[in-house]
Structure 1
Amino acid sequence: MSLASGTPAASDGSQARTLQASGGPARVSGSPFLHAGVTGTTRERIPTIIVEAHDELARLVAGRIATLMREREAAGRQVVLGLATGSTPIGVYRELIRMHREEGLSFAHVISFNLDEYYPMRVESIHSYRRFMWENLFSHVNIDAANVHIPDGALARAEVDAACAAYEDAITAAGGIDFQLLGIGKTGHIGFNEPGSGESSRTRMVHLDSITRRDAAADFFGEENVPREAITMGIATILGAREIAILATGEHKAGVVRRAVEGEIDRAVAATFLQRHANTTFYVDDAAAADLTRVATPWLVDEVVWGEPLTVRAVTWLAARCKKAILKLTQHDYAENGLTSLVAQHGSPGAVNGLVFNILGAKIRGKSKLPRSLKTICFSPHPDDDVISMGGILRKFVENGNDMTVAYMTSGNIAVFDHDVRRYMDFLERSAAEALHASGDGVRALTETVHAFLSRKQAGEVDIREVQDIKRIIREAEAVSGIEVMGLSKANARFLNLPFYQTGKVRKDPIGPADVAIVADLLRELQPELIFVAGDLSDPHGTHRMCKEAIDLALEEVYPGTTKRPEVWLYRGAWQEWPITEATVLVPLSQEELTIKIQAIFKHQSQKDSAPFPGQDEREFWQRVEQRNKSTATILDELGLAEYFAMEAYVIV
């Protein structure tokens, strides 16, 4: 039975349970899977399953695909899969590969049709979706190459229309698509069906939206290198599939997920057309589900159990909605916004107001209330996440006499422009070889090798080892300079250079035993009492999430069972801040402290002015930090709490 056609059967044959809102979202968690489908109390127009972890989502969707494949194989029939590219489905493909290798899942009877391809695009290009599919799935399973169909981005323009018509004919000849896998873009596009795409559209050439091209800029090392056109299946082609699964992960997808699931059908958001499909399921992780009504404001869709976290969320939401300080909320405010049950539980508005006011106030910790004399590790996924995300508390921890180590988990070398390398090569050439303790011939050979490569380098091409090393060294030097502003030195920095990152490409390898071993060795060596970990799920390329995975696995290895672990404080990166309702600790910063934090960010000169991977926010990282930290303080002020200049937020787990 389809996951989208009601409550699914669990993997052990038992019937999965349907969760209702009771202070938190219904979600899939553990095994058997729990279905968070649409009920009469939700506003969701597409059945939506919320999965706690990214990997769990991949296992769930891959399991559904495998079930369908086995059913068709047992019936002696072929199965037709519509497949997608991008970072989100990679986990699904890795799980399918595992099932093929370990469980004998056969692809011999599979016919596949991919959604799209950039145009123009050479087949051998590292950006080619054909290459992506073979590297990430097809070359690892026993699929017949003749059964693989991917739009051809290398065709002459005059041949494209006929090829698109032939693509549609091939789908029809195969009997139609049985299962279509989709991701969703920030514009709500599915495939490359950009805003304005019609419901009757079929496979065709399209012009790419500026937001889509900006999203792809990192993969192409610059928006100017992203093709302006693509070939894509149309909306009607996608809706013709018998079953559709659409995936979204990360906080940066939360807004468009809500728009697609709860909003009206609109040509400006292609994913909303999926509301008309009878067998579509949206699979999202907690972060991507954050803006759904049943998650953000569950009291608006059903009766809830008023625990403390939900009470804090509801009252701060009400205060913002009424534009009042918490202590000024009245019975009328609660009644007009569907929160009378909350007042009834506490007896009066004043009682619930006071409770939430005190809970929020207790989260505020200045330097005197922060830890002292603890062995502490700050794990920084990239060489600037430490000062960007927690520069304020880092300085306070140093001033409080904590034994601080900053562990930079990856080199961050792909985020260095080639022109920076040329500048440093020029420095080497102009410097005396003797002062660098190197022979003039050695310097000359290195600079000639680097210049020769850069002169012929294609956009997005993987750097040679010499260039990768130079970019790594640039970022390491900047990292040391940054923590020196905080009162630390080179001796406080560790550069782990985890192997998963060392692909030379934006797309990384999965976290492996070697990555975990490096982190575990550091934990054993330093025996920290407290660690800071990036909990930011909005990193566009998943490096933060993968680094956290390595840390979590290392903690399990080093501190098994009931062994006392170091306290873990989660911070967020350059894209988001913890909401005050979720934060455990709020750390106020003075104007001087925020200025020092920004000065530390300035030390990362290769990321200054124009970072290679800025995401959708074109502001510099220091500008985002300034606005984010000031905004957190402003929110507290508007709620009637103490007024501070700026503030950082952390979650203790």
Structure 2
Amino acid sequence: MVDKKRKLNGEEGSPRTFSSAVEAQAVQKSERKLQYPQEKLPIVEVENFPQLGKVVAARFIEWVQANPGGVISLPTGRTPEHFIRWVKHFLDTWGTRETVEELSGLGLLDTASRPDMASLHFFQMDEFFPINPSHKNSFSSYVKKQYAENFGLDPAKVRVMDIWTLGCKGKVNNGDLFADGIDLTVTEREPVTALERDQAAALTAVHQYCCEYEEEIRGLGGIGFFLGGIGPDGHVAFNCKGKDHNSTTRLTKLNYQSAAAAAGDLGGIENSRKKHVITIGLGTIKYNPDACVIVFAAGDAKAQVIANAVNGPKHVDTPASSFYGFPGFRFYLTQSACTKIEERIFDRFIKEYKGQGGESKDLVMDAVIDLALKVKKRLIDLSAEDFEKDRRTDHIMREQNGSSYLGALMLEADAMLKNKIDRSLEPISARRFIHTAPHHDDIMLGYLPLANNLRKDLSNEHTFVYATSGFNAVTNKLFVGFLKKALLHLEASHGVREMVEAGYFTPSKVGDPDVVKFMNAHAARDSQAKDDAISERVLRCVARNFDPKGAQSTSPSFLKQKVEEAIVYYSRQYQGQKDAVEYQVLKGMLREFECDALWGYHGFVPSESVSHLRMGFYKGDLFTEDPQINRDVLPLLDLMRKKHPDYVTVALDPEGSGPDTHYKVLQAVSAACKLFSESFNFPGKDLKIWGYRNVWFRFHPREAKVIYPVELGDHAHLNDAFETCFISQKEASFPAPDYDGPFSHWAQMIQAEQYQQLVTLLGEDFFSTHPDPRMRAARGMVFINELDMDEFLDRARQLKHNAEG
């Protein structure tokens, strides 16, 4: 009799699960080895994000064909977008000539036997606790919609983690019991109150549930096919760093990084911090020794955490290192997700290196600068012994066969950086700038000290363009608070009622006076006056949103009614729930006020210098659509034709993983710039693009073309402007996983880090003895990558290829 576990995992008349024709084909196409000697976890590398989804889909189908009735566990979130689409596409078009050819090209040997999806046993890998499974952002809801429906799974064999009322009495649920957070020690001590007794009973029931869930998985032989993403702290499922490598299914607490990453699902970190999670363990994943275990990732954002896992050592701080030596484990990664793996860096360097030719110059400069930073020496102090410490520079030295070349190379790198800095100190006058931003704080976090300096020359003209409405950054709780203050202001102040009746808030009137009042109140440190200014802007937003033609905006009772309706609406929405369009727009108007305030802070008239495009692809959906020419591109093109810019700034993040607002806006900006440059009246050959990065990514020092010094006063100004104007971000509901604090502090730290890099590369004397006092006072640096139109369009095309294939 065939052992049940062996049969489920394909050993009965089929190859072991980690022997895959699809995998072999993917490795062959990438022209890279499956594993380098120094890499402890095997890597299947593919070109871009859609290709990643397609290859993993083919591998999954291959496994299902070999393992009917097998046990699977698949991920939630954004990374599976293309995987889900391709599996569904292959299943829906099974047997057609196009699909047969597609799957054959991916290496699938059997394109005739349709995979028996209904035979599979599906186990959800993790879930927030507590959360209603009907909550749109619950992972249970995701599993039912994205996998059970799209893949044709048997609902009776789909095991979701529904523990909303587990262990509760009567009509009470765990959301009620743990509304103020979870204290796991309540099961380890004597409960003090009736609530604690109920909480202890519920938690005990959850612990029992986890044990039974684990036993059910093991009773079926263990998970045969596991596919998971990797979190900002390296977590696999919700096995965060520091956790036991042999852990089982359990209730556990999220660390800060994971809570920050989950904030978008739960309407803010204030909610995700209150929750725990149930997750299968690393030991659960590895229980079946013949399992196919895949962790996949796309984009530069995951490059460092991947490199940490791949290069070792095996440690609880890198959860994926738990899979060292596990035969069926594979990383499936895009090229951009491999950029921090030393072996892959060297492999690409060798492939592209061509001696002293121009094409290799950037590679050579990168290698020399990286070496200097690594050994913490000035560029001009590097020695031949230092060059031997790095594989890339050692290769350069051996190829060029001479110390004279090394000396020239170090001097060239040193002069290159100094020239960039000196050029950045030169004044820019009589130029027109269009500054674009995907999100409302991107410009200030990316390069506010530089923008502030540019506006001091009155011959320069500036237009600040915000592509999206940013409603996702405004929580219901925050906005309800502002609406209630606005209602009190309307009801308690006779003067405000008179303003309404006089047409002060009609949509035809600009909102500049709100900004002036806000700034005057800030200068006077009058918190009540600031609240009044915000309340008046909220009333203006309500009028614009619900009475766009201005027919009823002079009626205090109308505004009162609409404010009250909005309070009721937002109060009934659970955090993270997608709002109706009109209420999305209303939230977005608060973000728009923040930008109006920011540039009012700097002396600009918002109605003249700030443009809010509200690009239509930004809808709050899990998988976002692409920008459209008529809807998203032409409004920006019209603005460019009106303003005739000499410079256009754009968030130039390297991320190529698809559902990313920065990427979508970059594509819209590149399309508008291309159309603008092709216009007969506005030849684009002189148009310069300034690519910037905010707090999510960094430029390499060699990439930066503009290196602008930032003084301590600039940092103080940055923090005050951020905390004053970005009222929704003082305690950000959607913070970065990398830093637990205000975004402006993080931007300051990055600028300081970039300054320290240059101090290492050029030496302290370069700064302390520089003839320009701005350099002597510098304690930070802003990096900008200046591109001409051809370079920018080439970069946009490459990112499009990485994201869309």
User: Aligning the two structures, in what range does the TM-score lie when normalised by the shorter sequence?
Assistant: 0.7 to 0.9
The residue number in structure 2 matching 1:415 is 473
Letter in 2 for 1:93: I
Q: Paired residue for 1:647?
A: 781
1:523 matched residue in structure 2: 637
Deviation, structure 1 residue 497: 1.5
Say whether residues 1:265 and 2:314 are aligned partners.
yes
How far the C-alpha of 1:534 sits from its partner, in A, is 1.5
Query: Which of 340, 358, 371 is the aligned partner of 1:291?
Result: 340
Matches of 1:237 and 1:391, distance apart in 2: 48
3-state SS of the aligned residue for 2:590?
helix
Which residue identity does 1:439 align to in structure 2? S
Structure 2 counterpart of 1:543, from 649, 656, 661: 661
CA–CA distance in structure 2, aligned partners of residues 283 and 589 of structure 1: 40
> Which deviations, in whole Å up to 9, do the C-alpha atoms of 1:565-615 show, x marking residues without a partner?
865432112233312133243233455655555554345332453122122
Specify the alignment match of 2:397 in structure 1. 343
Matched, 1:627 2:627: no
Q: After the TM superposition, which residues 562-581 of structure 1 pair with which residues of structure 2 at under 5 Å, given as runs?
A: 567-581=688-702
Q: How does 1:114-125 map to 2 (within 5 A)?
A: 114-125=124-135
TM-score (norm 1): 0.82
Matched letter for residue 649 of structure 1: F
SS in 2 for 1:244: strand
1:493 is aligned to 2:610: yes
Task: Say which SS state the counterpart of residue 265 (structure 2) adopts.
Answer: coil
The offset of 1:355, in angstroms, is 1.8
* Correspondence 1:586 to 2:707: yes
Using the TM superposition, give the Cα deviation of residue 414 of structure 1 relative to its aligned residue in structure 2, in angstroms: 2.5
1:221 aligned partner, one-letter code:
G
State the partner residue of 2:526. Answer: none
Match of residue 231 from structure 1: 278
Asked if structure 2 preserves the Cα contact closer than 8 Å seen for 1:520 and 1:558, the reply is no
| 1:219 alignment partner, one of 265, 282, 290 | 265
Contact kept? 1:429, 1:444, Cα under 8 Å:
no
Counterpart contact for 1:17–1:35, Cα < 8 Å: yes
Check whether the contact 1:220–1:459 (CA below 8 A) recurs between aligned residues.
Answer: yes
| Counterpart among 637, 643, 652 of residue 759 in structure 2 | 637
Find the aligned partners of 1:237 and 1:480 in 2 and give their Cα distance. Answer: 52
Alignment equivalent of 2:81, drawn from 72, 79, 90: 90
1: CA distance, partners of 2:352 / 2:318: 31
Match of 2:365 in 1: 312
Instruction: Identify if the C-alpha distance between structure 1 residues 515 and 85 changes in structure 2 by more than 3 Å, giving closer, same or farther.
Output: farther
Q: CA deviation at 1:280?
A: 1.9
1:305 to partner: Cα distance: 5.6
- Tell me, what secondary structure is at the counterpart of 1:237? helix
- Structure 1 residue 636, shift from structure 2 partner: 1.5
Rounded Cα–Cα distance in structure 2 between residues aligned with 1:414 and 1:103 = 38
The CA deviation string for residues 548-574 of structure 1, in whole angstroms up to 9 with x for no partner, is 3554566788889xx968654321122
Partners of 2:90 and 2:671 lie apart in 1 by 22
Are the structure 2 counterparts of residues 16 and 272 from structure 1 closer, same or farther at C-alpha, using a change threshold of 3 Å? closer
Task: For 2:369, give the aligned amino acid.
Answer: T
1:245 aligns with 2:303: no
Q: Which residue of 2 aligns with 1:26?
A: none
Give the equivalent residue in structure 2 for 1:426: 485
**Counterpart residue identity of residue 519, structure 1:** V
Runs of 4 or more above 6 Å deviation:
1-4, 104-107, 297-304, 538-541, 553-560
Alignment partners' CA distance in 1, 2:594 and 2:325 = 52
Question: Is 1:451 aligned to 2:567, yes or no?
Answer: yes
The counterpart of 1:152, out of the listed 162, 166, 171, is 162
Structure 2 partner of 1:615: 736
SS of residue matched to 1:628: helix
- Distance apart, 1:478 and its partner CA: 1.6
Counterpart of 1:606? Answer: 727
CA deviation profile, 1:160-218 (whole Å, cap 9, x unmatched): 45644554565466665443111122333221223454444433433444443343234
**Secondary structure, aligned partner of 1:212:** helix
Q: Work out whether residues 44 and 333 of structure 2, in 8 Å CA contact, stay in contact via their aligned partners in 1.
A: yes
Distance 2:30 2:781 in 1: 39
* Residue 502 in structure 1 maps to residue 619 in structure 2: yes
Q: Distance in 2 between matches of 1:149 and 1:264?
A: 35
Contact kept, 8 Å, 1:411 with 1:476, in 2: the verdict is yes
Q: State whether structure 2 residue 63 is matched by structure 1 residue 58.
A: no
Length, aligned pairs only: 625
In the superposition, relative to structure 1, how do residues 124 and 64 fare at CA in structure 2: closer, same or farther (>3 Å)? same
Which whole-Å CA distance do the structure 2 matches of 1:181 and 1:102 have between them? 23
Change (3 A) 1:86 1:495: same
The reply on whether 1:109 has 2:231 as its aligned counterpart is no
* 1:475 lines up with 2:533 in the alignment: no
Cα-to-partner distance string for 1:323-362 (whole Å, 9 max, x where unaligned): 3211122233334555444335264232121121122234
List alignment gaps of at least 5 residues for structure 1.
Answer: 19-31
**1:187 and 1:454 mapped to 2: Cα distance?**
33
CA change 1:303–1:492 in 2 (3 A) is closer
Q: Which residue does 1:388 correspond to in 2?
A: 445
- 2:421 pairs, out of 349, 352, 364, with 364
Residue of structure 1 equivalent to 2:383:
330
1:47 aligns with 2:94: no
Stretch moving more, 181-190 or 296-305: 296-305
Q: Name the amino acid aligned to 2:434.
A: I
Aligned with 2:143 (options 129, 133, 136): 133
User: Residue 760 of structure 2 aligns to which amino acid in structure 1?
Assistant: E
Work out the CA distance in 1 between the residues paired with 2:47 and 2:235: 24
Matched residue SS, 2:497: coil
Deviations 1:462-509, CA, capped at 9 Å, x for gaps:
456665344222211221222345564432322221233223xxx544
The alignment's TM-score, normalised by the length of structure 2, stands at: 0.68
Cα deviation for residue 430 of structure 1 reads 1.9
CA distance in 2, matches of 1:172, 1:359: 61
Cα separation, 1, equivalents of 2:442 and 2:342: 31
User: What's the RMSD between the two structures over aligned residues?
Assistant: 3.9
Partner residue in 2 for 1:28:
none
1:142 counterpart (152, 164, 177): 152
Percent identity between matched residues is 24
5+ residue gaps in structure 2?
1-14, 100-113, 168-201, 491-495, 504-553, 768-774, 793-805
